[in-house]
Structure formats: C-alpha cells, structure tokens
Amino acid sequence: MEKVLKKKALGAFLKKLASFGQVYGPVKTDTVRFEPVSHEKQLCLDEHAWFPVKEFLFPQKQVFFRFDGEKIITEDNVKKAVLFGLRKCDLNAFLINDKLFLEGEHKDLFYEQRRNNLLLVGLYCYHELDEFCFCSSMNLQDYHDIMLYDRGSYYQVKAGTPKGEFFIAHLKDTEAFVPPPTTCSLALPTQEIAHLFEHQAWKEGADSCTSCGHCTNLCPTCLCFTISDDVALDGKGERVAEWDSCQYKEFTEVAGGHVFREKRVDRFKHRIYHKIQYFRERFDMSMCTGCGRCIRGCPEKIHWIHLIGKMTQ
C-alpha cells in the first residue's frame, strides 16, 4: 500500500525514523554531504551530495581486528543509521555493492554487519540535479527500504522492504502513483565499448589526468582497498583496510617491482572499462550508476561521457 506524508509532517517522520538509529541526510555546509540530522530544516534536498555514502559500508580506514601479542580481538561497534534523501543513483550503488559483497561464496562479514544496520530512505529525482547526472541512461532499478516522491504539498511514500514498511505503516493510505521516468540531458551513448579499446581518443583524457584518485574516492561503487598489519615491536597491533585506487601506479605493483598498468592511459581506461564493460559482462548490469561524481569532482574536469560520445560519433 502506498502512503501520504504531508511535508509539514516531515519533522515527525524523521523522529519516527530516528527510532531505528541516527538519521543522516544531505546537509549544505561548504558542500553538500550526509551529516547527522535532527530537524527537517537542516536538509538540502535539491542538490547532489558531493560525497557518496560509501563510508557507512566501508570507512576510509577500517580496523578488521587488533592483536595484543597473544590473541586476536574483534570489536563490534557498528551503530544503526538511517540514510535519508538518497537518490536512485546512490541506492543502485547499494545494489551493486551488495551483489559483490553479500552474494556468492565469499560473503564479506564486515560489510554485512554494516549493511544490516542501515535503513535506506530515497528521494526520487524527476530530472537531473545538475549537468553531470546521467542516471537515466544507466538502467537503474528500484532498490530502497522507503522511497519518497515529491508531489507538491506532500510526498507519496512507498516501501521496498518489510523493514521500510514498518516505518511507514502509520501513514495514511493513498492510491498508487506511477512516477514518470527520470530525465537527464546528459546520456552515456553506449555501455558497449569493447570495440573502442584501441581508440586514440582515450589518450586525450589520460593526457589531462594526474592520477590523483579523486574519481575513485568519490565513486559510490569504487570499494578497492589495501590491507596492512600495523605492528609495534612488542607484537601488538592491528590489521587495517584502507581505500586504494586503480588510478595509482602502485595499485598493480607486484613483488619484484613489476607494474601491470604502468601507463597512465591504461589506468584511466581501466576504471571506465571496469565500470561499464567488464562488470556488465559478468553481472549483466553496469557498475556505474550515472551519479556523475567522477566528472563533477575531477580537478581536471575530464568528461569521459563526452569522450565516449566523440568515439561513437
């Protein structure tokens, strides 16, 4: 059953959600980012969050366990949280990350623990939020606990999971609403780029790239990490996982010093091929959700969608 949430009742709804855990939503400070929210007036609901919410699944630095010289100590300090106002691109990043870390034979228990402690509340986009969004060409799916659709003085509210249903059960019922598909002016011309691998235009993008790794840090589906043991002389220490990036030369360095993607153009191409070609060949869906952050946040403003457009003209 679909529900109605009057906009003037949004504050009360946030309070209801807070019974699950701390509510985080898009807040505008120097930029828009997900911050703790206790009042609806703190929310910025008409701009794209600059940072993705992947830190709720994979903190930049995560301690897997500590050791005291004799035994291993694990800590369970993951807190429950509500992520309010997620856009469909970021909700689809959960779909992709869940596929990688929760399905198949190698489930990631650290990921699972954090994921189970999240309640995902979306806000539907009828149009792009800015000129870097291109989600409407990425075949996104519905993937949320709760989704809100702005209908003027109220939100139409739908649940996508039993967890979501619980938190909207008290709202008034209403008739079903079929939202129009999201429209974006920017579109990825094609996800099939295998035949473009040797195209000279890749060099154009790579020549401006500084391998800073900003694009991978900002991408909601880039979860590559490196593991190290930080051990003191007394044998005490911790095993930590920290974000890594395929844009760094050392990323593919192996014992003996060989680097598999020595050239910048190979690293530049790899990110894009991984997102829209290799992942799709394996899972039948793109690993890119069209959030546009890797272009929006690139210090060189390298526009790989335009680059592919040029190659496919």
Chain residues in the site for ligand SF4 (CB under 6 A): 209-215, 218-221, 247, 275, 288-294, 298-300, 302
Residue with smaller CB distance to ligand SF4, 10 or 288: 288
Provide the minimum distance between the beta carbon of 289 and ligand SF4 in the complex, in angstroms, as a whole number: 4
Provide the minimum distance between the beta carbon of 274 and ligand SF4 in the complex, in angstroms, as a whole number: 9
Q: Which two tokens stand for residue 19?
A: 């019974």
Residue with smaller CB distance to ligand SF4, 137 or 312: 137
Contact 83, 120 (CB under 8 A): yes
Contacts of 252 (CB under 8 A, 6+ apart): 246, 259, 260, 261
Q: How many residues make up the chain in this entry?
A: 313
Contact 242, 228 (CB under 8 A): yes
Q: How far apart are CA 157 and CA 146, in angstroms?
A: 7
Q: How far apart are CA 133 and CA 187, in angstroms?
A: 8
Residue with smaller CB distance to ligand SF4, 119 or 218: 218
Provide the minimum distance between the beta carbon of 59 and ligand SF4 in the complex, in angstroms, as a whole number: 19
Residue with smaller CB distance to ligand SF4, 57 or 288: 288
Provide the minimum distance between the beta carbon of 214 and ligand SF4 in the complex, in angstroms, as a whole number: 4
Residue with smaller CB distance to ligand SF4, 235 or 299: 299
Contacts of 122 (CB under 8 A, 6+ apart): 85, 86, 87, 88, 91, 144, 146, 147, 148
The residue to which tokens 């990043």 are assigned: 93
Provide the minimum distance between the beta carbon of 94 and ligand SF4 in the complex, in angstroms, as a whole number: 12
| Distances from the Cα of 53 to the Cα of 75, 176, 198, 225, angstroms | 22, 30, 34, 16
Q: Which helix (H) or strand (E) holds 121?
A: strand 118-123
Give the pairing of strands 154-159 and 146-150.
antiparallel
Provide the minimum distance between the beta carbon of 147 and ligand SF4 in the complex, in angstroms, as a whole number: 19
